[in-house]
Amino acid sequence: MIDGLLAQPSALLLLAAAGVLACVLAIGITQLLRRRDRQAADHQMIELARLQAETSVRIDAMRDLVAGRQADLARAVNERLDSVSHHLNQSMTTSRQHTVESLQKLNERLAVIDHAQRNITDLASQMSSLHSVLANKQQRGAFGQGRLEIIVRDGLPKDCYEFQFTLSNKSRPDCAVFLPDGRPLVVDAKFPLEAVSALRNASSDEERKQAAARLRADFARHVGDISEKYLIAGETQDLALMFVPSESVYMELHDGFEDIVQKAFRSNVVIVSPSLLMLAIHVIQQIQRDARMREAADKIHDEVGHLMDDISRMHDRVLHLQRHFGQANEDMRQILISAEKVEKRATRIREVEFDGEEAPAAATNVIPAPLPRRLQAGE
């Protein structure tokens, strides 16, 4: 086979040329590729330099922007700090003022509490004094009579009552209230505090029973005294009032001793407390006012009659004045008509004297007379 190839020299030359050509092409391609790589590298270096320049510009711009933002942030932070400091100072000032005001109010309240404490101390001493006063029977009676006098004086005129009024049997009740029929209403103060205190302080059923029996006996004695001494037929009222100057004693009497109240009522004696006595005084005041109005009814009737006569005379005089007023208006109208006629005649005379012709007569303006009218009610 080799021999055959060697026998053909043209074919070998062709193969050699082809190999050389292939090598040349490979070398050319390699150089071309290296040249392209260098150009690409140069281009990349240029692009990289351009990018570095742009990046540097952008970094500078960002540095300036960041610096500006930092300055704005610092200024905003300083303003916020100033505002916070100002508000904090105001808050501290306001808090200090509120604290001072609170302390002042606290001092005032403490002063009020101190004053109230002194008042309580004084009240306690007064209560002790009142207890010592009420412990004495005579002083207790004076206390009840004093409350009775205060209530009566506050509710009635001076000529409608009398204290320690002497009756025909020489007895003298604490108060006599004069009613319109001439017979006084007797009011007498009783204060059975000892029996009530014994009932309140009873610790056993036996003591409570004894205290209740004592209370019934005391009230029965007081009711009997008032009924026998102060109820006089034809001289005093049929009822008398027994004044108990304590609401608590009166309520305890009504709650636990209804038989005593009913027995007193059957004896024509009504037991009243301070509030009920005030109500009774108010009713008596209304009764006396009604009686005075009935006494003055005739005088009021006569005065109303005189008043009607005066109104009638005044009406006649007003009508007479109206007639005079109408006549005066008519006279004024006639005078104005005459004045207009005189003025027109003078005008015609002036026109005849200067112009030689008589002017046409103008229409006469007549003022209508006012129509007479009657006075109506309310004018």
Q: What pLDDT is recorded for position 244?
A: 83
Share of the chain above pLDDT 90, in %: 0
Q: What pLDDT is recorded for position 352?
A: 66
Q: What pLDDT is recorded for position 369?
A: 45
Q: What pLDDT is recorded for position 321?
A: 80
| pLDDT single digits (tens) 88-125 | 888 888 888 888 888 888 888 888 887 887 777 666 55
Q: What pLDDT is recorded for position 377?
A: 40
The burial class, CB within 10 Å (0-12 / 13-18 / 19+), for 277 is buried
Decide if pLDDT at 201 tops 80: no
Highest mean pLDDT among 118-122, 124-128, 284-288, 353-357: 284-288
Q: What pLDDT is recorded for position 116?
A: 81
DSSP 8-class letter at 183: P
Q: Determine the average pLDDT of the residues in 12-23.
A: 71
Minimum mean pLDDT range among 81-90, 203-212, 321-330: 203-212
**pTM to 2 decimal places:** 0.43
Decide if pLDDT at 271 tops 80: yes
Q: Determine the average pLDDT of the residues in 229-253.
A: 84
| 32 confidence band (pLDDT: 50, 70, 90) | confident
> Rounded CA gap, 321 and 10, in Å?
175
- Bridge partners for 175 per DSSP: 163, 187
Q: What pLDDT is recorded for position 12?
A: 63
| 128 confidence band (pLDDT: 50, 70, 90) | very low
| pLDDT single digits (tens) 211-223 | 778 878 888 888 8
Coil vs helix vs strand at 157: coil
Amino acid at 250: Y
Tokens of 38: 């260098």
Rounded to the nearest 5 degrees, what angle is found at the Cα of 141, between the Cα atoms of 139 and 146? 95
Tokens of 132: 């010592």
DSSP 8-class letter at 169: T
Residue 187 in contact with residue 243, Cβ under 8 Å? Answer: yes
Highest mean pLDDT among 132-146, 216-230, 342-356: 216-230
Question: In terms of Cα–Cα distance, which of 246, 242, 218, 215 is closest to 230?
Answer: 242
Q: What pLDDT is recorded for position 374?
A: 46
> Rounded CA gap, 72 and 57, in Å?
22
Decide if pLDDT at 44 tops 60: yes
| pLDDT single digits (tens) 52-94 | 788 878 888 888 888 888 888 888 888 888 888 888 888 888 8
Q: Determine the average pLDDT of the residues in 123-144.
A: 53
Q: What pLDDT is recorded for position 123?
A: 66
Q: What pLDDT is recorded for position 7?
A: 47
Q: Which residues of 236-272 are buried (b: 16+ CB within 10 A; e: fewer)?
A: bbeebbbbbbbeebbeebeeebeebbebbeebebbbb
Decide if pLDDT at 297 tops 80: no
Decide if pLDDT at 293 tops 50: yes
What's the order of all strands across the beta sheet hosting 269-272?
161-163, 175-178, 184-189, 240-243, 269-272
Decide if pLDDT at 257 tops 70: yes
Residue 271 in contact with residue 264, Cβ under 8 Å? Answer: yes
- Bridge partners for 272 per DSSP: 243
| Averaged confidence pLDDT in the chain | 76
The burial class, CB within 10 Å (0-12 / 13-18 / 19+), for 214 is middle
Q: Determine the average pLDDT of the residues in 328-353.
A: 81
Q: What pLDDT is recorded for position 276?
A: 87
Q: What pLDDT is recorded for position 376?
A: 45
Beta pairing, strands 240-243 & 184-189: parallel
CA distances from 178 to 70, 187, 287 (A): 103, 11, 11
* Phi, psi angle pair for 189, to nearest 5°: -95, 130
Neighbours of 226 (CB within 10 A): 23
Coil vs helix vs strand at 194: helix
- Hey, where are the domains in the chain? 137-295, 302-336
Residue 302 in contact with residue 343, Cβ under 8 Å? Answer: no
> Rounded CA gap, 367 and 189, in Å?
88
Tokens of 318: 């007003």
Q: What pLDDT is recorded for position 107?
A: 83
Q: Determine the average pLDDT of the residues in 28-41.
A: 75
Q: Determine the average pLDDT of the residues in 305-320.
A: 82
